[in-house]
Structure 1
Amino acid sequence: MARREETDQEAAAPPEPTVPTASAPVLGVGMVGYAFMGAAHSQGWRTAGHVFELPMRPVLAAICGRDRAAVDAAAARHGWAAAETDWRALIARDDVQLVDICTPGDSHAEIAVAALEAGKHVLCEKPLANTVAEAEAMTEAARRAAGRGQVAMVGFNYRRVPAIAHARQLIAGGRLGALRHVRAAYLQDWLVDPQTPLTWRLERERAGSGALGDLGAHIVDLAQYLAGELLVGVSAVSETFVRERPLPAVPSGGFPGAAGPAARGAVTVDDAALFTGRLASGALASFETTRMAAGRKNALRLEINGERGSLAFDLERLNELAFHDHTEPATTAGFRRILVTEPRHPYLEAWWPPGHALGYEHTFVHQARDLVRTIAEGTAPAPSFADGLQVQRVLAAVEESAAKNSVHTPVAL
């Protein structure tokens, strides 16, 4: 059994680069945004070339944000050579060949299309956009840019967890046989307290949707990635449990007319969404996403059941897979733990000895590695903007279904 898994991995392994990173041509990166995702992406770009031998050398050329003091501080903290306060100026820089977009969703389309039209490669955080129309425009811009040799990739970083990439290899290799069920849940609790202040993630005009787009985009992408097929139909419900929240406190010297301490603002996105779906093969899927699950900090869980076995993954144990081989005799069969830290596992060839675990931040290092190789080799990016558009269409279908199901029919008991 172990011999077969090893062979599968060897066949799926990407070719090793032939040019050491230190002597490779430079890939100047310009990043728009410097908060949570900006810090994570900075870590990825700063580290990738020191861990993996890459055919191009990522250089942190410039970072962009509207607040001069804050973006200067972010540049110093994360190792960026320069700072800009206008993303148009960043795109225009000669030392920037790739634009990394880490802003709220309402600006993704404008920045990405402008960067592609300026001849830059683009990495855009998920979800790709706030609407299907925006995602379609971005995908069309990416299609045109591909003809000029440019790459446009969407940042679904959880594909780069070694255990998830290994799960994809096992499924693609037929270890589960025909798929029957995909179960996915992404649970957080940072909005449980109704006094948590209103942020941009709770405003539809900036975020597009709530837990659905923020968390649901990840598990929709992972379900389709692992299964190797697309969702073809959904049925959904959603809810906003806290409909008003306190406005953020205004610092000393705030703008005229700033809200007082008692001011509140409307929450215009969902707090939670539940939906079922059907994959193209007929396999069934279920999804749960919420930011209101007390005690769950970043609980992303997946289980895939097939005719020949099952796989399960929990992000809070991200170096592990649970695997059940249903072809074994019942007397010995059962879920077993696979510790995904071997050099032959995806991404692990450049890291630590077996048993030395990786973490969340490594997914961004792996994302940077994959994107640099894609650009250098002239291959199609994965996940592409077209993949991001597919996820956006699923999210829109979920919202449409949830709206139709918002009127609940009483059940006679």
Structure 2
Amino acid sequence: MNFEFEEEHRILRDSVREFAEKEIMPYGKEYDEKGEYPWEIFRKAAKLGYVAADIPEKYGGAGLDYLGCAIIAEEFTRADSSIGSAVLTASLGCPMVKYFGTEEQKERYLPKVVKGETPSAIAITEPDAGSDVQAIKTKAERVDGGWKLNGTKTFITNGSVSEWVVILAKTQPDAGYRGISAFLVETGWDGYEARRIKKMGLNCHDTAEIYLKDVFVPETHIIGQENFGFYQLMRFFNESRVFVGAVQLGMAVGAYERALEYAKQRKAFGKPLIEHQAIQFKLADMWKDIEAAKLLIYKAAWLIDRGKANPALSSAAKLFASETAIKATYEALQIFGGYGYSKEYDIERYYRDARVGTIYEGTSEIQKLIIARAIAGKLRL
């Protein structure tokens, strides 16, 4: 058992860190205040192969393993919680196409993302269907040559900036989760409308409500088998939850490092904050939880790379890393005191940005439910 990165992963980490500290870290406050998608940074990251890095070289990607993708995610949000997350989630629609799309779909749509031409998106959540995926109401009705989609999706990352979106819709409304299919929809098609949602954090991270009104989807644009969308989605979550966990881990690391540096410089009662036991204990707890989160993330990614993705471990990694990010940003802000609450320092942004981690990509409660089912023998691993 080796707990050290192989040389290729160490080189990757160092290269990504150098890029992130130069091209991402200095601009966090600016993009948070502008609330604009970081197109220029997205394109720079894509040029270096850091966007959707697991996409095979055949389609223009770097062909990295999943551990490599987790390393990139951690380094990007360590540099900045908002820009890092925005650039990383450009790949959200890619896994469904990569694993279940036709060769034509892969050749046409995946290169657009890895080249930095457009982010991608996947639309699952609806106003009345979040954690309960089978409750979605968006319908796909068969017509000559394809389908017509009608419905509303909400909280869709990149919904108003992406050129294409994977839409989950009911093709057999009375069949519950067995009647869901996935479709590849271009956002320029008639009937597609997206409106950006204003949020507490991740302000340069596009989040939208999507309205689908008689959107015609050609026969060629169903992804995988009809009525198998739910099963495809579960495969997607096994990986995406580890990826989101790595995003949250990076936020925790970024907050911890900033708090540690501040505690060394700021003095109170005649000595640096770090010499006060109350502050030492906060930092010790942050370090401890971050190290534990790393082990969960790296092991879950390692299993994915060996074709042994474990749904319970993926959920545990996402659960622990996201809750660690919330605790770490909370304590970091406390260490900064009043300055942490001001816009002058990064910590208030990290605090806002980390909060959604226990909600999106499956709430903490859903992750615990998956783990519980696994240990009770009710979930096939």
Band the TM-score falls in, shorter-chain normalisation: under 0.3
Tell me the TM-score normalised to structure 1 length.
Answer: 0.24
Larger strand proportion of the pair: 1
Larger helix proportion of the pair: 2
Tell me which of the two structures has the higher relative contact order, counting C-alpha pairs closer than 8 angstroms and 6 or more residues apart: 1
